């Protein structure tokens, strides 16, 4: 099936069960929320799906993206995009430079890269921001640029780890709507970790409890 599939995933830490066993199908465009107490393994689960689980953990189970079994693959081969709360933009690059960094390597020609970056900014209401220093952006603008950077790599699934955690309530609503709309437009199956019940409600999909 198209989408993101977790098949009988179980993660242990020091031989003690931490997450799962968990099986879950996330449909294209669906946002499934992962909730649970602090330390219950929410970020660890995302790390497993993204392919960057720390060595301290052991895991079993499979991860499939659009029917492709990515379980043994390194993160860069999985086509899974990730957005963290602390997604810092590179301070030594312009906004456009940050976005070009996310652009997949297949697009080589400089003018084409520039055009893609400018189109992405325009669609996000940030036309003309390409040459700005990231330090001059508001928190909401930075969050949008971080999401655009993730999306320019053309992922086939999206992982969100407390992506709105640092934004105040009004901005949070705004950025959240932006992120969910992009996930839906692109038909990206999305797993979102949050502590915030309002985030879960806004996602409108299923909630999976861990821990």
Phi, psi of 49, rounded to the nearest 5 degrees: -65, -40
Measuring CA to CA, which residue among 146, 24, 147, 151 is closest to residue 79? 151
- Rounded distance between C-alpha atoms, residue 10 and residue 80, angstroms: 20
CA angle 83, 26, 40 (to 5 degrees): 60
Q: How far is the CB of 24 from ligand ATP (least distance, A)?
A: 16
57 and 88 Cβ atoms separated by less than 8 Å: no
Which string of DSSP letters, residue by residue, matches 6-75?
EEEEEEEETTEEEEEEEEEEE-TT-EEEEE-STTSSHHHHHHHHHT---TTEEEEEEEEETTEE-TTS-G
Q: Is residue 61 close enough to count as binding ligand ATP by CB under 6 A? A: no
Instruction: Pick one of 29, 36, 140, 165: the residue that binds ligand ATP (CB under 6 A).
Output: 36
CA distance 127 to 99: 13
Residue 44: CB minimum distance to ligand ATP, A: 3
Among 7, 10, 43, 113, binds ligand ATP (CB under 6 A): 43
- Residue 111 in contact with ligand ATP, rule: CB under 6 A: no
C-beta of 42 vs 176, nearer to ligand ATP: 42
Per-residue contact track with ligand ATP, 126 to 165, x per CB under 6 A?
A: ----------------------------------------
In whole angstroms, what is the distance from residue 132 CA to residue 145 CA? 11
Which CB atom, from 151 or from 159, has the smaller least distance to ligand ATP? 159
- The answer to whether the beta carbons of residues 2 and 178 sit under 8 Å apart is no
41 binds ligand ATP (CB under 6 A): yes
**Site membership for ligand ATP, residue 13 (CB under 6 A):** yes
In the complex with ligand ATP, the residue whose CB is nearer, 56 or 105, is 56
**Least separation in angstroms between CB 50 and ligand ATP:** 12
Query: For ligand ATP, which stretch binds (CB under 6 A), given 39-47, 66-74, 106-114, 178-186?
Result: 39-47
Q: Site residues (CB under 6 A) for ligand ATP? A: 13, 36, 38-44, 54, 56
């Amino acid at each position: 099936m198209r989408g993101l599939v977790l098949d009988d995933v179980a993660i242990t830490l020091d031989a003690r069960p931490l997450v799962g066993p968990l099986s879950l199908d996330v449909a294209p465009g669906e946002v499934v929320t992962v909730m649970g107490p602090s330390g219950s393994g929410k970020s660890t689960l995302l790390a497993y799906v993204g392919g960057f689980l720390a060595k301290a953990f052991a895991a079993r189970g499979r991860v499939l993206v659009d029917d492709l079994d990515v379980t043994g693959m390194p993160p860069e081969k999985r086509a899974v995009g990730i957005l963290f709360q602390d997604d810092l933009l590179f301070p030594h690059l312009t906004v456009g430079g940050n976005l070009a960094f996310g652009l997949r390597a297949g697009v080589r020609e400089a003018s084409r890269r520039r055009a893609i970056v400018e189109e992405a900014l325009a669609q996000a209401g940030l036309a003309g921001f390409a040459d700005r220093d990231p330090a001059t952006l508001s928190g909401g603008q930075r969050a949008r640029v971080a999401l655009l950077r993730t999306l320019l790599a053309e992922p086939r699934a999206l992982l969100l780890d407390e992506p709105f955690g640092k934004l105040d309530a009004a901005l949070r609503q705004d950025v959240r709507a932006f992120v969910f709309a992009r996930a839906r437009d692109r038909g990206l199956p999305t797993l979102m970790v949050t502590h915030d019940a309002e985030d879960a409600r806004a996602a409108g999909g299923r909630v999976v409890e861990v821990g």
